[in-house]
Amino acid sequence: MAAHQRHVTLITRDGCHLCADAERQLAALSEELGFQLQLLDVDADRARANEYSERVPVILIDGAEHGYWRLEEARFRAALQR
């Protein structure tokens, strides 16, 4: 599947410096690789907060959890190629 067909979600929280770092990195990679990036506030949904609150930022690729806390760029790029 080509990168431009992929959908990446960043589960984030206001005031989270790791979230801001991940958002900045993913926005740049989105421009380069052409995937769709969506941001979701972990605190806007109780079920989401229950699942992810302690691990933000959380990165999902096509709805599946890829990683959390820090973006590992090489691993992320490899996952998009699968």
- Give me the domain span that covers residue 42: 3-81
Distance CA 78, CA 37 (A): 17
For position 60, which CATH number holds?
3.40.30.10
Which residues are within 8 A (CB) of 58 and not within 5 positions of it... i.e. 6 or more apart? 10, 11, 42, 52, 65, 67, 68
**pTM here?**
0.91
pLDDT, tens digit only, all 82 positions of the chain: 444 489 999 999 999 999 999 999 999 999 999 999 999 999 999 999 999 999 999 999 999 999 999 999 999 999 998 8
Total structural domains within the chain: 1
